[in-house]
Structure 1
């Protein structure tokens, strides 16, 4: 399997337990997870943030006043995917705990999920689109050695 090229900027905001999140997200793993979800070459910035930054971005850009797990800002899909993925560390950590997943498993899932959004996949348009996106995410994650994220 030939994977597409990825130019990755990996950033961590300043927040409590940032070191633990940084340890789970070494550049080589983040690169691998994202590349497996790419259908084209890409330039992607991944930023791990605290709840305040996550909430502010969600409020300002999606008009939803709460911190969410992942926000995708896609700027181009062709010929190169260009996007920012913003993951809110406290939300990701809480969801992983609630879903009985490791932090690594949940980050891998959300990075694949956000990367698919950056390429035009959307689970909020219809039930059929949601099923297709979830099935594709599951296939990608299983190829990476992770369990079906929706089977829990």
Structure 2
């Protein structure tokens, strides 16, 4: 039990958990359709929900392929989501360093007695966990949205006989 508590207090453990979470969320975003088709083989209700979702996706693909403005706006929205995900990743990665930097600056300050270095460790851990969780969530949503927008773009190019951009 003591080793678990010491691991939870270590920022490197949180960083490792977060990176594994990011990798898993990226793979989950791309593998969810394959997993859903596998589950649909065994469940009638899931199969019906999957058919309804496929119909909604088809409507979205057609809308993206037929409307240039909608396609561009979807790409802009996707890039905004990726930017937010990367921002949260940066905050997550920098929190331990910023806390350490604050403590070093306060210790070197001539007014060290007035400098409040006592940031509660639980607050730091909560901030790390919150930004890590939000980054994983936005990364998963971005990878899911990426597959939708890219399929719409592929159909748009195919209908207009446009070459594939390398």
* Higher helix content, 1 or 2: 2
Q: Which has the larger radius of gyration?
A: 2
TM-score range for the pair, normalised by the shorter chain length: under 0.3
* Higher strand content, 1 or 2: 1
Q: What is the TM-score of this pair, normalised by structure 2?
A: 0.24
- Structure number with the bigger relative contact order (C-alpha 8 A, sep ≥ 6) is 2
Q: What is the TM-score of this pair, normalised by structure 1?
A: 0.25
